[in-house]
Amino acid sequence: MKLVPIALFILIVIIQTSECSQNWFPQNLVTTIRKETSLIKDYVKEKGRNIKQFYIDNVRNKITSYLGLQRQESEDEDSSSRFKRKFKDYIEDAQAKDYMVFDSIAPEVHKYPCSKDDPTIEMTTPQLIAFYGYQSESHTIVTEDGYILTMHRIPHTRNTTDLRPYRKTVLLHHGLLGSSADWVVTGPNKALAFILSDAGYDVWLANARGNTYSKAHVSKKIDTYSFWNFTFHEISQYDLPAIIDYIMQNKGWDVKINYIGHSMGTTVLFALLSTKTQYNKVLRAGYALAPVAYMSHVRSPIRLLAKFSDNIAYLMKLLGANEFLPHNAVLRWLSKHACEINHYEEAICENSMFVLCGHDDKQFNKTLLPLILGHVPAGASTKTLVHYAQEIRNAGRFQQFDYGPEVNFVTYGMPTPPEYNLSRITLPIALLSADNDWLAGAEDVNKLYVRLKNPLERYVVPYKDFNHIDFLWAIDAPKLLYNKLLQLLDDGIVTSNVDLVSSNEIN
């Protein structure tokens, strides 16, 4: 049936484009057919649109009917669990069809319309720091395994006459898909890096391997698996020690570094302190924003991958083996449906950082969106995401990458990966979390807190909707969070000595 209009259409096109059509074909018929042509063109066009719409509706109906069954049970089920079921359904379908199906309904990639009048949008971290009137430095270091990292630094605050770097030192470490830019994009009086600088700290901003500023290696090419063959474990074992040692070389071995991490920036700290335990004595204290170690109660869509995390080959195929790319079709699919539920702006929906970490409309300053989208996602390896997905599946275990029993045996000498032994952490640590955090919920943070030998504080942001990335960019972050953090940093000077003494006594 469908062939009839198409064949007719082709015939008419042939007639119309044929140079001598006027000569051999009766004129009145040509006129009639011309009229028909536009009808048929419309028909085909319409049909085309309908076919696509039909396809989309089909998928949607399937999901809706699936939801319909569940809706009776829990009317007020939250969007993330609805989303979870949607994804489960979809991914099983995709698995059956060998995953190509993702590409077929993923929307086109949209570019957020950036205002060219705003010069900050395309600025790098050091440029942004300088733009806001602070002194900006870049430091390049090479890790033991050959990754080339760039650190950024604000040695002292603006408008000061004393140009020596401040003695008080703080190291900020970004989270998954983040970079040093995370700490500066919102500008003076808002961004943590500037607030700390104004408070008299020498501020160092780390960039983990694989992100915008640390995408280089002494011998490995960045488009090889060999380059991207790392997770947060390698960041904790090679990047962090190199960064901390470098700061100590730069400022003197007696420098006491305050470590502030966000998200993965906290995971790498816990992994470091429980393996290379000498860093418990080197650092002054740790301040974990949205701390991620145990992941039993994660609500981020990343948990939807957990089910497949024992099939590493499949996940790598699904997500791309090397870099976790922002425009990955799976992600586009995920975000499209997350956004249908939540009515977020398209640009937010297409960004892997927002998709994985959530978005809090009320605390998000939309003016900053183009600037933020210019900086995140800053790059991460797919293997890191798989590692996190494994943490979710192995509920209750915070451990190294799981290669499966056979390869584990070769790699670790035992069938299961070694756990990070958190009882070896003696550094005084404060946990600052939020109950609506998709990645670091109250239960998981509590579990972590009771295992710390020297807990400084367990602070919960007093704002119901505060989410994972609000720790960086919330409009009220200074009021809700950074004031408390500054106070803890000050307090620590007094209490950490006591804590160190008591931890020595225990040892």
Instruction: Name the residues that contact ligand NAG, by CB under 6 A.
Output: 133, 158-159, 187, 225-226, 229, 365, 367-368, 411, 421, 423-424, 475
The answer to whether 468 is a known catalytic residue is yes
Residues in a beta bridge with 432 = 289, 459
Q: Which of 180, 468, 470, 503 is catalytic?
A: 468
The CA distance from 27 to 390, in Å, is 72
229 or 497, CB closer to ligand NAG?
229
**C-alpha angle with apex 214: 347 to 207, nearest 5 degrees?**
75
Q: Are strands 148-154 and 169-173 parallel, antiparallel or unpaired?
A: unpaired
Tokens 């919920």 belong to which residue?
441
**Residue 258 identity:** N
Give the shortest CB-406-to-ligand NAG separation in angstroms.
13
Rounded alpha-carbon distances, angstroms, from residue 463 to 342, 434, 460, 466: 20, 8, 9, 6
8 Å CB contact between 383 and 389:
no
- CB nearer ligand NAG, residue 212 or residue 363: 363
Catalytic residue among 437, 444, 470, 499, which?
437
Helix and strand totals (H; E) in the chain: 23, 8
Cβ 287 vs Cβ 370: under 8 Å: no
Instruction: Please give the Cα distance from 177 to 183 (Å, whole number).
Output: 13
**Range list of H helices, 182-221:** 192-198
Shortest Cβ 158–ligand NAG spacing (Å): 5
How many alpha carbons lie under 13 Å from residue 109 in its C-beta half-sphere?
11
- Alpha-carbon separation of residue 162 from 131, 158, 159, 167, 388 (angstroms): 20, 10, 9, 12, 44
Closest CB to ligand NAG among residues 115, 226:
226
- The residue (of 17 and 161) whose beta carbon lies closer to ligand NAG is 161
- Residue closer to ligand NAG (CB basis): 278 or 423: 423
Q: How far is the CB of 234 from ligand NAG (least distance, A)?
A: 7
Minimum distance, C-beta of residue 229 to ligand NAG, in the bound complex (Å): 4
Options 179, 214, 263, 309, the catalytic residue? 263
**Taking the complex as a whole, how short is the minimal distance between the CB of residue 403 and ligand NAG, in angstroms?**
8
The DSSP code sequence of 374-409 is TT-----BHHHHHHHHHHHHTTT--BS----HHHHH
Taking the least distance from each CB to ligand NAG, the nearer of 198 and 202 is: 198
Active-site residue, 217 included: no
State the nearest-atom distance from the C-beta of 243 to ligand NAG, in Å.
20
Residue 78 known to be catalytic = no
**Residues recognised as catalytic:** 263, 437, 468
